[in-house]
Structure 1
Amino acid sequence: MKTFSHIIALAFCATGFVSSQIHPVIIDNCTKCHGGVKQKGGLDLRTIKAALEGGETDTALIPGDPETSPLYQVVQVDSDPHMPPKKQLPVEEIEALKTWITKLRITPPKELALPDPLKPITTVIDQLIRAKWQAEKIAPARRSSDATFLRRVYLDLIGRIPRIPEINSFLADQNPEKRNLLIDYLTTTEEHADHLAQVFNIVFLDRAHLRKRSHTNRKPWLDYLRWAFKTNRQWDQVGRDLVLARPKSAQEQGASWFIHDQRDDHSQIATRVSRTLLGKQVQCAQCHDHPVAPEIEQRHYWGLVAFFNRSLNVKTPEGPRVAERASGGYDKFANLEGKTDQSQLILYSNKIITEAGGKQSSDSAELYSVGPPKQWFRKLKKGERLNKDLPNLPVPKFSRREAFAQSLTTDNPDFSRAIVNRLWALMFGRGLVHPVDLMDSAHPSSHPELLAWLARDFSNHHYDLRRLIRQIAKSTSYQLDSRPAPSAGQPPLDFFFARSLDKPLSAETFTRSLRVALGHENPNDETLRNHFAKILPELFADNFSPSVQQTMFLTNAPFFDKIISEGPLLSHLQNMKNPQALVHETFQSILSRAPEPIELERSLSFVDPNDKSSIQQFVWALLTSAEFRFTN
């Protein structure tokens, strides 16, 4: 597998320095005028190759010599011409550019050195993560305690904190394999399937879309997701279910909702498919080539739309479905300059799908393997929609969606890379490519060999999600403590995965954990979850910074007092007479651990078993603490 380090984005190497200091400077200050939208002076700064070729004058970069590199010269305080226009880069950014150009060396294409494909996943994960630590001289954190691991793995695998009996059972177990056994067990539970269904409901439809369509009945869709994860349906089959939207069994019927809920908005279908199944944001290439990722071109956007622009929502006796015509669909697009071009059924790999029999200008029954009814061919009046009941779902002999589904899931490394990266982010709090929906050359992988190896292994093992999740959870890297090693000095950057990252709980996980902490048997509460979804961080957020709104919402005493007072935990604690036992049980119920000696001392000075309000305030304090709201 080749990595073309001399032609892809300026962040061609994923070292901490380049990714954190050079890439943002180029993207934020240069590519608006020298990227996919504009190329003033004929200069494109999206790739090293283009920067070396230069524009109308000469090369923008001279590797190893910043003083004679125009890119460095034009950002000086007294330069003429001066870039960026009407702005002066900070001194530290100029110095970073100088350091980068000084160290820049152009390397020829090379093969990624991937480990033996027969090695166990955990071995490869730990081997490649450790290699990066050694290269960067990073000391990893120690292994997490059993209590920390237990809480983390419950939150990540079933979306809630453990209950006290589950805590006591695990901590008392002396089996050295107990962590692996617990991971294997949790990934077979109904709660694991429910948790993943909630996660991917948001991934596929996103919160904003779900709020906009909150009145819509999505039960068949959620039932499909639960069934897919409960039965460990192969991910390539899930991909086909979603984009083909042609169910063959009762269990598959809900998958049609993914496309049906876009209500014949073919552009939205294309962008949603690209983002969720390929990890690429393609909407930036609707009017021009991608501004910062040159491999994503305008023709890719319109090619992707073309795969879906014959689709239309219909009603059938089995429920809402997505039909497909055998002809039609606009097949030209224009750029910002007004130049038109012919759209093709083209993939990101630049593979072009040839339409069997050529493009059809008119519909006829001969073009279908499963024939549509007569009204299918009736010319519709302006504004009229074909939403009458159809006795069956028409199937064209050449189906663009079927051709796309086949290409999507067959020997397509982007398809495997996207789900591997998303699951890694779900478990670690950050993807190997970050953000997870920007898997392009402008956002290189922190560990390209690891991502490539995991994607290949995933496809070689029949797209087995459960196997992948289990092996990630069993890795040494996943089970590290969140506190940096004492010898680490400054905490290592997040993308080295040298410690467990502090992940904020999603609205779903927070709600389920809150109800478990308060003693409810059923952890689910849709109304409560919808409240928290308005202010808690998004799943797979680019960055997390707590807002004043979140703090105010979570520390709103009347709101939380009502929630706490309705939970069985409070009445149980208020009947306890031993203050030490009360504090221990509260800590275990909410934080899944025993209190530290200093915490016990301070808690005992506050809690009075004879004062019910002090107990309620104590519960409130732990529930609104950062420790409860984060995984570590």
Structure 2
Amino acid sequence: MSHPRTGEWRLASWSLLLGLLALSSARAEEAQDAAAAVDAVVEERLAGAGLAVAPLCDDAAFCRRASLDLVGDLPAPERLRAFVADRDPRKRARLVGELLASPASARAWAERLCERLLGGLAPEGPTRYAREAFAGWLARALAEDRSWDALAARLVAGEGDPGRRPELYYLVDHGAQGPAPLAGAVARHFLGLRLDCARCHDHPFSEERPQAQFHGLAAFFARLRLRPTGIPGRVRVVEAPVGEHRFAPPGEPAHPVAPAA
């Protein structure tokens, strides 16, 4: 079993990778500042782990790695040869920009995000359509350069038919078992925190994450309902007019919890 901090490091690393996507639309000086900040974080982590910074790779390796990371595929042989032969000192930055601007990048990152956001929807079987529709929505959103806050709002605060609004499959996937599992997912995906332990007791590794905080987050989703539509396997996401999330501290009776961050 991995140490709890390992999970947080992976979450932080994933958040760092997502941040790199924003560099393609930034001005040159902003991109350089952001790159320097990312380098500083990586170097600090490596130093803390007692690891040295790897030497600069050659052009062929860079082209392959950038293509795999940003579009999920190897470069075509002719593109690889052209990149190696190119004498422009800015060719690496140019390649990253071209890859990030390509439709393949939006599709690749949408699939990666889908794997993390829809843990309960398998790529095969009855949930295949939902997963594909959700990934398609993500790809379009990334291609349109929608902001991360706008995407998050659509994922956690929507209503309607997921067949028409595929982003609602996030609430369908995580909200089917009630507000507590959904709160745990939202904390992992959008706050970079693993609060699941605090569902049953104060977090064992952080005094700043008491049990009451977890249930305060869960209370935001107390009125979420998945209503049958009459079509097998299809539901509608709605907000009920009434509803509350109840929490019982140790030795106390359960009581309604007000939404709180």
Structure 1 and Structure 2 fold alike (TM over 0.5): yes
Deviation at 1:163, TM superposition (A): 2.1
Alpha-carbon distance in structure 2 between the residues aligned to 1:301 and 1:134: 33
Q: Which residue does the alignment assign to 2:191?
A: 278
- Aligned partner letter, 2:260: I
TM-score normalized with structure 2 length: 0.75
* Cα displacement (A) at 1:119: 7.1
- Of 105, 111, 126, 1:215 maps to 126
Change (3 A) 1:313 1:157: same
Q: Is the 8 Å Cα contact of residues 224 and 251 (structure 1) preserved in structure 2?
A: no
Q: Residues 222-241 of structure 1: CA distance to partner in whole angstroms, max 9, x if unpaired?
A: 22111111111100000000
Question: What residue identity is the alignment partner of 2:126?
Answer: H
Counterparts in 2 of 1:169-568, with a 5 A limit?
169-206=82-119, 209-211=120-122, 214-216=125-127, 217-218=129-130, 219-246=132-159, 253-262=165-174, 264-266=176-178, 267-314=180-227, 320-330=235-245, 332-347=246-261
Whole-angstrom distance in 1 between the partners of 2:139 and 2:156? 18
Residue by residue over 1:199-238, the C-alpha shift from the partner in whole angstroms, topping out at 9 and shown as x without a partner, is 01111012xx233983122133122111111111100000
User: Which residue identity does 1:280 align to in structure 2?
Assistant: L
**How far is 1:273 from its partner?**
1.2
**Per-residue displacement from partner, 1:304-354 (whole Å, max 9, x unpaired)?**
22111211113679x743110122224x3113545545412111xxxxxxx
In structure 1, distance between residues paired with 2:47 and 2:200: 44
Match of 1:147 among 60, 68, 82: 60
Shift of 1:258: 0.5
1:297 CA displacement: 1.2
Change (3 A) 1:278 1:252: farther
Bigger helix share = 2
Question: How far apart are the structure 2 equivalents of 1:285 and 1:133?
Answer: 30
User: Deviation at 1:125?
Assistant: 3.2
**Partner of 1:323: helix, strand, or coil?**
strand
Distance 2:40 2:175 in 1: 47
The structural deviation recorded for 1:246 is 3.5
Separation in structure 1 between the aligned mates of residue 188 and residue 49 of structure 2, nearest angstrom: 32
Greater RCO (CA < 8 Å, at least 6 residues apart):
1
| Equivalent-residue separation in structure 1 for 2:80 and 2:57 (angstroms) | 15
Aligned Cα RMSD in Å? 3.3
Q: Please report how far the alpha carbon of residue 251 of structure 1 lies from its aligned counterpart in structure 2 after TM superposition.
A: 11
Question: What is the one-letter code of the residue matched to 1:257?
Answer: Y
Give yes or no for contact 1:201–1:222 (8 Å, CA) kept in 2: yes
- The letter of the residue matching 2:259 is L
What amino acid is aligned across from residue 258 of structure 1 in structure 2? Y
Do the aligned residues in 2 keep the contact of 1:264 with 1:311 (CA within 8 Å)?
no
Q: Distance in 2 between matches of 1:316 and 1:127?
A: 51
Residues 1:139 and 1:271: Cα distance change in structure 2 (over 3 Å): closer
Aligned position for 1:413 = none
Residues in 2 aligned to 1:257 and 1:133: alpha-carbon distance in whole angstroms = 38
Q: Is the partner of 1:289 in helix, strand or coil?
A: coil
Check 1:212–1:283 CA distance in 2 against 1; reply closer, same or farther (3 A cut): farther
Q: Which amino acid aligns with 1:178?
A: K
CA contact (8 A) 1:288 1:298 kept: yes
Q: Aligned pair in 2 of structure 1 residues 321, 132: CA closer, same or farther (>3 Å)?
A: closer
CA contact (8 A) 1:311 1:324 kept: yes
Q: Compared with structure 1, are the counterparts of its residues 211 and 336 closer, same or farther at alpha carbon in structure 2 (3 Å cutoff)?
A: farther
- CA 1:182–1:245: 2 relative to 1, 3 Å: same
Please say if residues 197 and 225 of structure 1, whose CA atoms lie closer than 8 Å, have aligned partners that are also in contact: yes
Q: Which amino acid counterpart does residue 177 of structure 1 have in structure 2? A: R
Q: 1:316 to 1:289 in 2, by over 3 A?
A: same
- What is the count of residue pairs matched by the alignment? 228
Tell me if the contact between 2:227 and 2:238 (Cα under 8 Å) persists in the aligned partners: yes
TM-score, L = length of structure 1: 0.33
1:321 aligned counterpart, secondary structure: strand
